[in-house]
Amino acid sequence: MNIFMSFRLAIKSIAANKMRSLLTMLGMIVGVGAVILIMGLSSGITGYVLDQFSNLGANNITLTFNGRNSRIVKDEELYSFAKKYPELYSALSPNVTGAFNINAKDKRLEMHQLSGVSEEYDKIKEIELESGRFLDYADIDSHGNVAVIGTYVRNKLFSKDNVIGDKIKINGENFTVVGVKKEEGDSEEASEDDVIYIPYTKALRMTYQPEPMQYTLLAKESDTVTRAKTVLDDFIYSKTGDSDVYTIITMKQLLSMIDKMMNMFGIVLGGIAGVSLVVAGIGIMNIMLVSVTERTREIGIRKSLGARRSNILSQFMIEAATLSAIGGIIGIIIGSVMSINVGTALNINAVPTLSSILISFLISAGIGLIFGYAPARKAAGLNPIDALRSE
């Protein structure tokens, strides 16, 4: 008996016990569906997170001082350093953050975070403006009371779109709005539109910091990021003499770390869901053992007519694999539909990959073969005389 005949007999046996077959496949359907759903969502979330961070600038290099001490490099020194390597760096901005009460007439934002940056920050972060202008060198040099705000802040503080020239109060000080950032995050709280930029020199005074604790540099080209980081590291170390007082990280490194973490997270969740596949395999084995018992007389007849041990073994293993594979296919379909629908609801691209679908199918069929071997071996080992005597 060839493999095609064994497959036909397997389909016939499954069809003859529809309800039992469906209940047996249920564990596989749930297990495979859960794996497909989790892998699809994990892939979609990973892509979304990486896209969000990529928007911050793939060529960015961030320098952060870990504590206040006398060895922190001053901003003038960083600017002089960057000018010495025009082939490596195209922009530099100190970053000073603080939380303040923001007012505009009768409207207020409580302890809202703002960022003190330089006039090159818009180039570093590729900021586009809806109206007005970004900060300029004169604002930085004069510690100017000017601000660029996002659309979320504008909508919260004003009841009109054109707010250029209007005043906002930051901790009681008047600031003139000189620019409004183009909407990127649907003007929602904590999005890219929930921002306020002021000159970093002014932010230093307001936060009582002697020097910025963080800087962002823009590498000239993507292939010079590594070299730019190394040169910066050598310079900062020569000034501080202690690599523990600062951290330098590139956006490429950060993206790589995030990608690894998200992949690990997906593998762990997939592994947890995969436990149900083992349970499904045990269920298939139990049902196949019952099937062997029920069909003992059939096995005896086939053996008496010349069926070899290998024929019986292959028949029951193919039947177990077919049962498992059909459950896997149904699980793949259900998991894919759920993944796409949930992804659409979360506004992420959660379409399962072809590789995850193929792997899930192969695993489901493989589990059928593995857990179907013991019942098949039992069936193949039956003595034909004893099998024929079975009632």
| Of 132 and 256, the one with more pLDDT | 132
Residue recorded with tokens 């009460």: 101
Name the least confident of 38-52, 70-84, 119-133, 230-244.
38-52
What pTM did the predictor assign? 0.63
39: pLDDT strictly greater than 90? no
Q: Provide CB contacts within 8 A for 222, sequence distance 6+.
A: 58, 59
Taking residue 134's Cβ as centre, other Cβ atoms within 10 Å add up to 20
Q: Provide CB contacts within 8 A for 33, sequence distance 6+.
A: 330, 331, 332, 334, 335, 338
User: DSSP 3-state assignment of 91?
Assistant: strand
Residue type, 347: N
Q: Are 35 and 272 in contact (CB under 8 A)?
A: no
Name the least confident of 28-32, 232-236, 256-260, 343-347.
256-260
Tell me the mean pLDDT in the region 209-231: 90
Residue 161, token pair as written in the block: 């779109």
Domain boundaries along the sequence of the chain: 3-52+257-389, 93-212
Q: What is the dihedral of CA 48, 50, 51, 56, to 10 degrees?
A: 140
The pLDDT value given to residue 180: 96
Distance CA(241)–CA(250), nearest Å, equals 21
Q: Are 166 and 104 in contact (CB under 8 A)?
A: yes
User: What band does 18 get if pLDDT is binned at 50, 70 and 90?
Assistant: confident
283-326 confidence digits (pLDDT tens): 888 888 877 776 777 767 777 767 777 777 777 788 888 888 88
Name the least confident of 60-74, 83-97, 187-201.
60-74
198: pLDDT strictly greater than 90? yes
Name the residue among 37, 69, 19 with its Cα closest to residue 351: 37
Instruction: Return phi, psi of residue 62, to 5°.
Output: -110, 125
CA 380 vs. chain centroid, Å, equals 49
Instruction: Return phi, psi of residue 104, to 5°.
Output: -145, 100
